[in-house]
A and B are shown apart, each in its own frame.
Chain A
Amino acid sequence: MRPVTATVARPDMTTLRMYAAVAAAEFRRYATYRQAMVAAMFTNSVFGFLRCFVLLAVAGGAAGGAAAGYPRDRLATYVWIGQGLLGTVNIWSPPELAERIRTGDVVADLLRPVNPVMAYLAADLGRFGYAAVTRLVIPIAVGAVAFDLYAPAHPVTYPLFVGSVLCATVVCFACRYLVNATAYWLLDSRGPQIGWVAVSSALSGMAFPLAFLPAPLTTALYLATPLPYLIQVPADVLVERHPPATMAAMVAGQVAWAAVMLAAARLVQRRAERRVVIQGG
């Protein structure tokens, strides 16, 4: 029944290939949901127009036509990037993991010889790959048709932006993992989920640029929370809010937060496995 007994694994390459295969499968899964993507893009564009009009009205009322230091074209760009990042970084991802924990389906994840955090991360990066070529690009294109958008002046901005979006996705993944993992203890994670949606939309730069807030609050958010690294930082990178060196430092900040939050997710997962009961017969 086991025709070949030696199952020797060379860890490094095979591990990478395994994560790549998981990511590719998730990419294909998302690619099968085209209708969902189209529907999301439609809603996303409607809200893009609304937010753009509101923020441009704010800028129109401000002295010099710039709101919190964002001139009109950068503000419009900020909005449409934000619309693109919403579905790419995926700050409002459906609580799939929490649901699997509640129903006990999470056993299937635990029965595999992989760390569940890393397996879910690989899958999320596969989803990211699909979103990057659809949900990130389309809103920017829609915005570019309807408004004057800002084109980056420094070539280095482009690679920096790609890196920044990727980091934002990892940070966001880890935050969402932690929120979902509360289901291990609470079973019903709706409270934390709602809290996350509120906090992440208000304080990540999603609803408005954080520069609109009082400076001490903004500084506190940057230093003590991962929130600005989800939307604000990648959007600022693309609209070149600061000189390239400063923006590079912010992306480095994202890398640090990604490491911290992933470590936290792994720690919580390990605790959950030792303490917590998998539901269902």
Chain B
Amino acid sequence: MTVIDVRGLRKDFTVRVKAGRFRREARTVAAVDGVDLAVEAGEMLGYIGPNGAGKSTTLKMLTGVLYPSAGHVRVCGLEPVPRRTRLARRIGVVFGQRSQLWWDLPLRESFELLRHVYRVPATDHRTRLKWYRDLLDLDAFADLPVRQLSLGQRMRGELTAALLHGPEVLFLDEPTIGLDVVSKQAVRGFLADLRDAGDTTVVLTTHDLADIERLCRRLVVIDHGRVVHDGTLERLHERYGSRRRVVVDLDEPLATPVDLPGATVESVSADGLRISYALDSATAGALVARLAAVASLRDISVVEPDIEDVVARLYRA
């Protein structure tokens, strides 16, 4: 079932820029410039792109808080802006830089209020809250007013708040921004559980590509408001020719270079003891077997292609 269906989505902003001493000129910026997207139920989609690419703008249109300039949008079969309050019951949203909790009230009371706002039956609420309390370790700070929470604590509160009404779709705009390694791992682990449970569709926007690598099978990259990649991470690597590498340490330099179709030598250290091969079609196993036949191997490592590299190349392109 297609949960998010977007075709030709556009958003043009009019900005006034100074043109001369007294004149101001209206200029149109296409923040989102014809995005097509279909997301199936249960998918966890990574929605990435450089700063200003139009990610947050897309998410605002999908959640019904921003009216599109053009295009077709359906989320859970509803048109977001006109059906905003109906849709709000079926989606959960975390905008990393904003809070949906009550600033002066203890976290626990925010959750209780949200139960009323979303009209969640008390038993459902209790079951879910218990689940999130354990997974996100909320008990340690649930009695503090939200304004006294650290960023990482608040973010765990925000995630819970977005999920307490059991939404079908969860939109996350930079949920790991500013978190330390431990909190990031907690959030990632939590999202991985959510994905594996399989009944929540998630759209995740982040600049931390480790989030994507760990969580999202499918990756949509946008730049200047246009989709420039839609597919798996592997597809992206293939497209940009990023390859796995095998680095071997030898006890003695090779007498003659080892040739294997589908593997090329990338670099050899000055003393000839460390050689780095890039793999095209050859497997690491075949290469290692071949090398082991002619030399004595001290150490071997297989290096996965780097997501940061390939994404940087994509952004620059």
Contact = CB atoms under 8 A, between A and B. Distances in A.
Instruction: Please tell me the size bucket of the interface on A.
Output: 35 or more
Nearest to A109: B100
A112 B119 contact: no
A64 interface: no
Given A22-B113, A113-B85, A277 B127 contact: no
Given A105-B99, A108-B99, 18 more contacts: A1-B131, A1-B163, A1-B199, A2-B200, A4-B123, A4-B166, A5-B166, A18-B116, A18-B119, A28-B105, A104-B98, A111-B100, A112-B85, A112-B118, A113-B88, A113-B118, A280-B97, A281-B97
A2 B166 contact: yes
B166 A25 contact: no
Interface of A: 1-5, 7-9, 14-15, 17-18, 21-22, 25, 28-29, 32, 104-105, 107-108, 110-115, 119, 273-275, 277-278, 280-281
B175 to A, nearest CB: 14
Interface in B63-114: 63-67, 81, 84-86, 88-89, 93, 95, 97-100, 102, 104-105, 109, 112-113
16 contacts: A1-B194, A1-B200, A3-B124, A3-B131, A4-B123, A7-B166, A22-B117, A25-B105, A108-B98, A110-B65, A112-B88, A113-B118, A114-B85, A119-B117, A273-B81, A278-B66
B113 A25 contact: yes
B13 interface: yes
Nearest to B55: A281
A111 B109 contact: no
Nearest to B197: A1
Contacts of A114: 85, 117
Contacts of B163: 1
B84 A273 contact: yes
Nearest to A30: B104
Contact of B93 (A7, A111, A273): A111
Classify the interface of chain A: helix, strand, loop or mixed: loop
B56 interface: yes
Residue with the greatest number of chain A CB neighbours at <10 A, chosen from B65, B81, B104: B65
A12 to B, nearest CB: 11
Given A3-B128, A29-B104, A274-B81, A113 B117 contact: yes
Contacts of A14: 116, 119
